Structure 1
Amino acid sequence: MTQNKRAQIGLLMNVTIFPAHNGDSFLIETKGGTVVLIDGGYVSTYKEYIKPKLLELSKANKNLSHLIVTHIDSDHISGVIKFIEENKQNEIIKVEDIWHNSYSQLKSIEDGLNFKGKTIDNLPINYLLKDGVDDIKNKNISAVQGSTLASLIKKFGYRINAHFSKNIVSVDTKEHILSNDIAFKILSPNHEKLLELKKYWKRELYKKGYSSDENLTDFNEEVFEYILSLEKEKKRLMSKNVTAKSSMDIDNLSNEVFVEDETTTNGSSIAFVLEYKNLRILFLGDAHPSVIVNSLKKYYTPDKFPVKFDLIKIAHHGSKNNTSPELLNYIDSENYVISTNGLSHNHPDPETIARIINRKVEFTRKLYFNYSLDSNVSFKDKVLMEKYNYQIIESSNNQPLELSLSYE
């Protein structure tokens, strides 16, 4: 059953959180007609939920104003690739602009690394898209053969990063974006995180014995996306150190030592504030919180903190390494969204939820989840919810979760 928070008078924006397994996919629709798709989850996310919605929008003579691909990672990008492959020349819906940092954009960042080795043309590529069909018992994600996103964008002639003059999507390139009836404040990545991403790619080529120079070819785009997808998969196979807890101690959980995520792909994630009329929502992608904090300080004066947003999408499926206590000193909301089915790394981490709710406020925080999670059972304790003034709201039957934002 789809969860709704609707007000018939003053409705300004509808946010759809698609069931994306352990991934991300969101659709934003404004009253003024702007439609933004953020990430695409897995192939099955696209087929079952995104495609029918886009066809419905197209039938209503609406375009996809922005397709934002936050970073190269199978749980964010697989569904987008399948969409671009099928959409071709806007056969499903017209796409006005794609935000995506491919190698073509990153080549402008000087890295100083040049390795001599085998020609890159000899590197075998077996690029697989993640389908997202869960084997609940084994927690597996099936795979299908696919093309890279960069190659499809070029093949079908889509506009890419038009608001950034086809350059890098970065807070250091352009901070403010005005488009149609909405505005963006870019928070992540910065050039430093993108430099780390490019260096990682080149070092991985060096380890495999391949040459790394500045001669850009179409094939370099393929290799870039392929190598980065392998990097993230390796990290996901690593065991997670989870401390056993006999009871839910919110104070202890929220005060555990914070260690920031160091994954290069997550560090390259696009994060932003989207503003429409008097609404502002915060989408954190999988970004590193230290970068977000520095960017927030550029936009808001000290007397504005914590900035209250109408909705906050928590980073990296609720990982404890992507939501720092420091970041939470700068932001707050009545509505938090965590996107995950809980089958990868046991996300969300209880430390993240504890950090969010363990701050005194006059309003009730609502934590929205696009799946019903076993890990939430302890947080549904009525005593805890009353003490810390929060609610847990979960989607049921694996249906999209809808939040309608309005003014009073």
Structure 2
Amino acid sequence: MINAFRIQLLKAKTGDSFIVECGDNTFFIDGGTRSVAKYLKRYLQENDPTKLQAVFVTHVDRDHIGGIAKLYSQFGKYVPKTAPVYMNHPEQVKVNTNTSGLVTFEDGNNLKDVLAANGYKLEEATTGKVLRFGETRIDILSPQNVVAGQLFKEWEESDDDGLVSSDIIEVDCSTLPSEPQNSILNDIVNASSISFTVTYKGRSALFLSDTLPEIVTNQLSEKTNFDVVKISHHGSKHNTSMELLHKIDCNNFIISTNGPRSYGHPHAESLARLILSSIEHGYSECNITFNYEKVRDRIKINNLPKGFRVNLIYSESIIL
């Protein structure tokens, strides 16, 4: 297992939180809600903490930053100071468009202050940046710095929880859903998400955070193969398009959500697009992995082409 490429899927409630192990190198990607901090702390207690190479806070929605903010504020003694934190904050990203002054990013600002006070490194992560950690390469696809700058004019709080739905999600594979209509200015918090690829020993994973599909589509110059793709925004129909999936050659997907009724994630339209794109790319099956068993069990697939199989999987980790 020493050379394994493993992705651990934490129970992050409405959000995302992943521990990525590339041989001896470990990375934290988001921290879900604040309650997830205890899992990150436990990991550091049970493993060699010096293997933690970097922490990524993809954006400042509270179901992504909450657990990281609590980890550093309450359990910081377990986190090595050698691991930089990548989070786009006004003091990291210099842009001319940020002329309206800062709004109060409570968790983002608090985390920045805790990091600065305790000697941790805070780094920006925008389009084109390439990070190397031994045999592991991380390529930042988004956001462009001008998009990140727009984020600092708006701050939208997101609820941590909400009632979890038990409704069946009916996925119709006989009809291609219409494409999402997005506007960066109308969804700047998600548009400014850090999305990136992680490559290790010939295997690659694409982490789409909550970014909008057109942003990543524009960064992929041609169809690219990935071993697994973490789908954007918990399977929202607004954040996965067929235009993007045309460029992503993959049939192995991760969706992170506990399925709150208030959001309706994952949406049937996104699931249909994942299945239909897998067919388009010539695969005989589509694998969709969930970090909550109850979400997996709610999904019903209808009108699949004969001979094609969809595997709905609940798992706490994926090994590539």
**TM-score where L is the length of structure 2:** 0.86
Instruction: State the partner residue of 2:212.
Output: 288
- Provide, for residues 295-328 of structure 1, a one-character-per-residue CA deviation record: whole Å limited to 9, x for no partner: 111xxxx4xx2x2211100000001111111000
1:39 is aligned to: 30
Equivalent position of 1:249 in the other structure: 172
Aligned to 1:204: none
Matching residue of 2:56: 68
Please tell me whether residue 258 in structure 1 is matched to residue 180 in structure 2: yes
1:268 aligns with 2:268: no
Q: Are 2:285 and 1:403 aligned?
A: no
In structure 2, give the amino acid aligned to 1:169: A
Aligned AA (2:53): S
- The alignment partner of 2:229 has SS state of strand
AA partner of residue 53 (structure 1)? Y
Equivalent-residue separation in structure 2 for 1:84 and 1:375 (angstroms): 32
Percent of aligned pairs with the same amino acid: 29
1:8-407 paired onto structure 2 within 5 Å: 12-31=4-23, 33-47=24-38, 49-58=39-48, 62-88=50-76, 90-106=77-93, 108-111=94-97, 113=99, 127=106, 148-161=110-123, 168-171=124-127, 174-198=128-152, 200-201=153-154, 228=155, 231-233=156-158, 248-252=171-175, 254-260=176-182, 262-297=186-221, 302=222, 305=223, 307-343=224-260, 344-359=262-277, 360=279, 361-373=282-294, 377-379=298-300, 384=304, 387-395=307-315, 401-405=316-320
Q: How much does 1:391 deviate?
A: 0.6
Q: Distance in 2 between matches of 1:275 and 1:42?
A: 27
1:139 maps to none
Structure 1 letter corresponding to 2:255: I
Contact 1:65 1:95 in 2 (8 A): yes
Paired letter, 1:189: P
Cα distance change of structure 1 residues 104 and 247 upon mapping to structure 2, 3 Å threshold: closer
Preserved contact between residue 357 and residue 389 of structure 1 (Cα < 8 Å): no
> For 2:52, what is the secondary structure of its paired residue?
coil
Post-superposition offset of 1:378? 4.2
- Quick one: higher RCO (CA 8 Å, sep 6+), 1 or 2? 1
Structure 2 unaligned runs (5+)? none
- Cα offset, 1:193, TM superposition: 1.3
> Partners of 1:79 and 1:295 in 2: how far apart?
29
Distance 1:16 1:37 in 2: 10
Q: Is the 8 A contact 1:274 1:282 kept in 2?
A: yes
The 1-side partners of 2:56 and 2:129 are apart by 16
In the TM superposition, residue 190 of structure 1 has moved relative to its aligned partner by: 0.7
Residue 398 of structure 1 corresponds to none
Q: Secondary structure at the match of 1:16?
A: strand
Cα distance in 2, alignment partners of residues 389 and 114 from structure 1: 52
Query: If you compute each CA radius of gyration, which structure gives the higher value, 1 or 2?
Result: 1
Cα offset, 1:126, TM superposition: 11
Q: 1:247 to 1:370 in 2, by over 3 A?
A: closer
CA RMSD of aligned residues (A): 3.0
Deviation at 1:264, TM superposition (A): 1.1
Report the counterpart of residue 222 of structure 1 in structure 2: none
User: Once the 2 structures are TM-superposed, how far is the Cα of residue 94 of structure 1 from its aligned partner?
Assistant: 4.7
- Contact 2:12 2:257 (C-alpha < 8 Å) held by counterparts: yes
Contact 1:379 1:392 in 2 (8 A): no
Contact 1:260-1:321 at 8 Å conserved across structures: yes
- The answer as to whether partners of 2:169 and 2:300 remain within 8 angstroms in 1 is no
C-alpha contact 2:290 2:296 (8 A) present in aligned 1: no
CA–CA separation in structure 2 for the residues paired with 1:289 and 1:246: 22
Separation in structure 2 between the aligned mates of residue 22 and residue 39 of structure 1, nearest angstrom:
12
Aligned length: 309
- Give SS of 1:65's match: strand
Structure-2 change in CA distance of 1:248 and 1:286 (3 Å): closer
Which amino acid in 1 is paired with 2:158?
Answer: E
Secondary structure, counterpart of 1:71 in structure 2: coil
Instruction: Give the TM-score taking structure 1 as reference length.
Output: 0.69
Cα distance, 1:328–1:160 mapped onto 2, change above 3 Å: same
| 5+ residue gaps, structure 1 | 1-7, 130-145, 162-167, 202-227, 238-243, 396-400
